[in-house]
Amino acid sequence: MDGGARRRRPLRAVLLGAPGSGKGTQAERIASRLGVPAISTGDMLRDQVAAGTELGLRVRDVMAAGSLVEDDLMAEVVRARLARSDAQRGFLLDGYPRTTVQAETLERLLGATDARLDAVVLLEVPEEILVLRTLGRQRADDREDVVRERLRVYREKTEPLVGYYQGRGLLRRVDGDQAVERVTAAVLASLGG
Ligand code: AMP
């Protein structure tokens, strides 16, 4: 219609999946392909813990136990991050939202600037593969009891988001139990690119 090169519309998306589903790896790959920042709340919190900030000290034990940081604290972390200039051209969220309250917060934060989510991609991986993958990763919070706790918390608190986003017509399901490149391609395809 305008005859000229059209600027790509910002893509605002969430990558949803259990611990060990490959979210972090895929978020980086997909975000770089799409030219948007991958925003990992887990990485942001780990940076705070490593730097010994006040926030880091507040969340350290919760993270080590495999539990979730309070919704109010996360709301502030995400609000500040989404307000940064690089997120204005879109983003791929990894690890947020993790509760229905957080999903509502995200909607509210985006709505304040008349923005909204375009898609939520669920990486589906069978439970036994999740445990094997996560135990192979050797992070401080990856002891087997903590891995099981993280999975339990995912099922209880985060899995309800599947229905939440399905009801909003935003959910796309991708088989996360295949080679990394194939998962990346499937996610990109599900995002229409
Ligand atoms: P992740 O790397 O995404 O698995 O996150 C590591 C840990 O950071 C989680 O187990 C939680 O303790 C904490 N965390 C990260 N994102 C969130 C969130 N959206 N809500 C609550 N806690 C979070």
Q: 165-189 pLDDT, tens per residue?
A: 999 999 999 999 999 999 999 999 9
The alpha carbon of 162 and the centre of ligand 1 are apart by a number of angstroms equal to 17
| Mean predicted lDDT score pLDDT of the chain | 92
Tell me the residue type at 32: S
Q: Is the pLDDT of residue 1 over 60?
A: no
What are the catalytic residues? Answer: 23, 98, 137, 139, 150
Q: Which atom of ligand 1 is nearest to the CA of 59?
A: 12
Ligand 1, residues at Cβ distance < 6 Å = 19, 41-42, 45, 62-63, 66-69, 74, 95-96, 98, 102, 150
pLDDT tens string 146-155: 888 999 999 9
| 3-class secondary-structure state, position 5 | coil
Element (H, E) at 58: helix 54-64
- Residue 6 has what pLDDT? 41
Closest alpha carbon to 32 in 184, 182, 178: 184
pTM: 0.92
What are the two backbone dihedrals, phi and then psi, of residue 121, each rounded to the nearest 5 degrees?
-105, 125
142 or 66, greater pLDDT: 66
Question: In sequence order, what are the residues at sequence separation of 6 or more whose Cβ sits closer than 8 angstroms to the Cβ of residue 20?
Answer: 125, 129, 130, 131, 132, 133, 134, 137, 147
